[in-house]
Structure 1
């Protein structure tokens, strides 16, 4: 992938193209990618501040950008940008801010990579925003629900939790399945696929789990998007004492996961 997107953190389909962006330390710009080769087809400046953008999802009229990266567990300004769009035309001047907090979090003392109130994954489901936490301490994930039309500061509602054994870095929902991707402290990358239950829960059934390799070879996977053809995964630039893995776009055909 292009060096312009060396730290791509979120991934979702917008029409037949992939929407992505860089995470903290970069400008608030959006990129539309060709899913066949990962090349940038369109660059979309937003002028929005990017403290730590980590996830993207959408409904029929708005794109949602999650500025809720919280590795230290200290943030009290978690937010989601709601950007209206139509036919790839983003109405950034009409962007609204959805502010939220986790009611279970009582301690905001810095605890780098050891907090359960980080998040890098989000989907739009059942007319609500669903946030999936990146739980460094518990190695689990919790699903929180957010009202997309409440622009006052709101408390996220905890719905369910699951012991993944790895930290979740992105999520996708497609054809009644939830896809979670992430990695372990030992750099092992995993994909989990959950079937939706009749009661609109995901974690009540045993998921399928796939080992995708080591981040030392495939990179740090930070984005996932799914369509009828299969699963698309994006990795950001990953530097280690053993070498550097360039940002990449991966594709897993649907039949390989059946």
Structure 2
């Protein structure tokens, strides 16, 4: 056991040195255990001042408004949609964009984003639009369980476009693609840049000229990368500031991030493995606590 722990410590040390990671103890900023109703919370998004989350694959097609201070569910919204594998949530101030594009086997040919108007606390299910898309680079759709580079869990809305960031199991890179939110035809995602994160990207959020990206490695290491927007909609020209947040065995399987004027909100889904079980958590990091 001591040799195993030593090997892990060496591996972590090398990883931190290579990526120049700063250790940041996320566990200290836990504010709530999420209700079992949202135990598979797979993303976070602020619509105005209201914080929303949702469950991923196989769960009902619902959005949940939650209290950012306690994680308590304030309201549930049923969506006129199907939850094949919801993985991300964004909005343009008038519509929610729900990413039904989880693809960890790399075999899906039905990637889509639901566009649903939202105003005055009402989700307008009479005007649901489907925005289908595909990756022009993908030629092989044979199942490749957790080895595909065409998985996806992250999305933001910025400068009139939808921006998605892939979860690449083999290359440990994230590719940044752009989609047109006004196009309901099956559109080719436009690749604009990529970056070697060395972890699996699970969610992203944009605030005040910075892109916040979270994810984890197969060794359960959890990371946060913060990129500067060097020109409109471009983030990967410079290296990010990277933070090691802890192990998923302690902080949970991190799947959501949303940033507003108060700070950084991070959520995890229930994590179960042979070593340990962790509950779904909500974290809050006030601005100024991270050295950006």
CA distance in 1, matches of 2:52, 2:183: 25
Match of 2:76 among 21, 38, 43: 43
Q: Assess if the C-alpha contact under 8 Å between 2:48 and 2:93 holds in 1.
A: no
Determine whether 1:115 maps to 2:148.
yes
Determine whether 1:129 maps to 2:149.
no
C-alpha displacement of 1:85: 1.0
Q: Which residue of 2 aligns with 1:192?
A: 225
Using the TM superposition, name which of 155-164 and 240-249 deviates more. 240-249
Runs (4 or more) in structure 1 with deviation over 3 Å come to: none
CA distance in 2, matches of 1:244, 1:17: 30
Determine whether 1:67 maps to 2:100.
yes
Per-residue deviation, residues 77-102 of structure 1 (Å, max 9, x unmatched):
00000001112211012100000000
- SS at 2:42 equivalent: coil
Q: Report the count of equivalent residues.
A: 258
Determine whether 1:153 maps to 2:186.
yes
CA distance in 2, matches of 1:211, 1:199: 28
C-alpha displacement of 1:200: 3.5
Q: What does 1:228-243 align with in structure 2 at a 5 Å threshold?
A: 228-243=261-276
- SS at 2:288 equivalent: helix
Distance 1:153 1:201, change over 3 A: same
Q: Which residue of 1 aligns with 2:63?
A: 30
| TM-score, normalised via structure 2 length | 0.87
Using the TM superposition, name which of 109-118 and 87-96 deviates more. 87-96
- SS at 1:241 equivalent: coil
- SS at 1:98 equivalent: strand
Match of 2:119 among 75, 83, 86: 86
Using the TM superposition, name which of 10-19 and 48-57 deviates more. 10-19
Distance 1:103 1:139, change over 3 A: same
Determine whether 1:96 maps to 2:129.
yes
Determine whether 1:12 maps to 2:45.
yes
| TM-score, normalised via structure 1 length | 0.98
- SS at 2:40 equivalent: coil
* RMSD (Å) for aligned C-alpha atoms: 0.8
Match of 1:76 among 87, 109, 116: 109
Match of 1:57 among 64, 86, 90: 90
Q: Which residue of 1 aligns with 2:12?
A: none
Decide which structure has the larger Cα Rg and report it: 2
Relative contact order, higher structure (CA 8 A, sep 6+): 2
Per-residue deviation, residues 16-72 of structure 1 (Å, max 9, x unmatched):
221111000100011000000100011111141100000000002110000000000
Q: Which residue of 2 aligns with 1:247?
A: 280
C-alpha displacement of 1:199: 5.0
CA distance in 1, matches of 2:230, 2:121: 33
Q: Higher helix proportion, which one?
A: 2
C-alpha displacement of 1:201: 1.2
Structure 2: tracts of 5 or more residues without a match: 1-33
- SS at 1:93 equivalent: helix
C-alpha displacement of 1:205: 1.1
C-alpha displacement of 1:243: 2.2
- SS at 1:9 equivalent: strand
